Structure 1
Amino acid sequence: MKTLYLMRHAKSSWNFDGLSDNERPLNNRGRTDAPQMGQALAGRNIQPDMLVSSPAVRALSTAALVAKELNYPPDSIRVIPGIYEADAEHLIDIIRELPDEASSVLLVGHNPTLTDTVNRLSAHSLNDLPTAAVVCLHFHTERWAEVHRTNSEFYFYDYPKNHHDE
């Protein structure tokens, strides 16, 4: 079985006029929500074999904050440039190219691509994945190249507002 965690980057800042979209950092809420979601994943005893991220500053920062909470070495985060501007079809291609040695992968990326990807890879339908939200899908296969809607199982969906009262 393969397990895929799709996580949208945490809330980013729009306060820096001179920065490109790729360079936008997390805002205060994002810097709070990302580790909070990392703690939520740790509370589920989740330890991904691989953590991959878009190269965008907000995505990579989210990945690093989550990695810290999961005791995943931040220098082992794999940056995949194609995640940044991928549509769902391209992101699914990226997922299908993941190494089979990794049974579980946490991928940090962007919307609307992540929502579209969840909707293509599972029977569960999402309207919009909020910032820092995580969806977990199980695939009944031993090869990433074979992940498909027909062998998927929607496992859980979690997001920061579920944890704000803790």
Structure 2
Amino acid sequence: MKNLIVIRHAKSSWDDPFLDDHQRPLGDRGLRDSPRMGQRLKRKGVIPDLLVSSDAERAKSTALIIAEQLHFPKDRIMFTGTLYHASSSVILGLIRSLDDLYNTVMIFGHNPGFNDLIWELGFEIENLPTCGQFAVKFEVNSWKHVGKENAKKWFFDYPKNK
């Protein structure tokens, strides 16, 4: 069984409208929501084997804050430019290339790619909100075989979900 948790970066700051998008930091709401969502994962008993994040500042910060809440070693987070505004096919390609040593993986990144990935895996959601988490269990032993045909929804959570 392979478990995937897709996490959209938390709310970013628009205090500096001229800042390069890749460098945009988390805003106050993002800084507040990230640890809360990390605690929700902890309460669910989620123990990741790997965290993979877009190297955009807002995604990196979200991953680092959630890693801290889960006591996941920050030096073991994999940061990659591949997830920065990636299409669903690129994201799925990255997922399918993961080492089978990892059973529970969290990926941090952006919409619209994450929304499209969730749809491609057979789940209809209107939107993955900022700091939203969509989790899927795949009934396979290898990441290279994950797809719509073996995906089962695990949970869907987001900051305004009570």
TM-score normalised by length of structure 1: 0.95
Question: Following the alignment from structure 1 to structure 2, what is the Cα–Cα distance between the partners of residues 16 and 97?
Answer: 37
Question: Following the alignment from structure 1 to structure 2, what is the Cα–Cα distance between the partners of residues 35 and 132?
Answer: 10
The 3-state SS of whatever aligns with 1:61 is helix
User: Residues 115-154 of structure 1 correspond to what in structure 2 (within 5 A)?
Assistant: 115-122=115-122, 124-154=123-153
Say whether residues 1:8 and 2:12 are aligned partners: no
User: Residues 21-40 of structure 1 correspond to what in structure 2 (within 5 A)?
Assistant: 21-40=21-40
Which ranges in structure 2 are unaligned for 5 or more consecutive residues?
Answer: none
Question: Following the alignment from structure 1 to structure 2, what is the Cα–Cα distance between the partners of residues 88 and 152?
Answer: 15
Question: Following the alignment from structure 1 to structure 2, what is the Cα–Cα distance between the partners of residues 37 and 128?
Answer: 17
Q: Which residue identity does 1:158 align to in structure 2?
A: D
Which ranges in structure 1 are unaligned for 5 or more consecutive residues?
Answer: none
Say whether residues 1:90 and 2:90 are aligned partners: yes
User: Residues 97-116 of structure 1 correspond to what in structure 2 (within 5 A)?
Assistant: 97-116=97-116
Question: Following the alignment from structure 1 to structure 2, what is the Cα–Cα distance between the partners of residues 86 and 133?
Answer: 17
Root mean square deviation of aligned Cα: 0.9
Q: Give the total of aligned pairs.
A: 162
Aligned residue in 2 for 1:80: 80
CA offset at residue 75 of structure 1?
Answer: 1.4
Question: Following the alignment from structure 1 to structure 2, what is the Cα–Cα distance between the partners of residues 42 and 81?
Answer: 27
The 3-state SS of whatever aligns with 1:100 is coil
CA offset at residue 85 of structure 1?
Answer: 2.7
- Structure 1 stretches (4+) deviating beyond 6 angstroms? none
Say whether residues 1:159 and 2:153 are aligned partners: no
Identity of paired residues, percent?
41
TM-score normalised by length of structure 2: 0.97
CA offset at residue 80 of structure 1?
Answer: 1.8
Aligned residue in 1 for 2:46: 46
Per-residue deviation, residues 8-43 of structure 1 (Å, max 9, x unmatched): 000001111342100000000000101100000000
The 3-state SS of whatever aligns with 2:124 is coil
CA offset at residue 155 of structure 1?
Answer: 1.1
Question: Following the alignment from structure 2 to structure 1, what is the Cα–Cα distance between the partners of residues 71 and 161?
Answer: 22
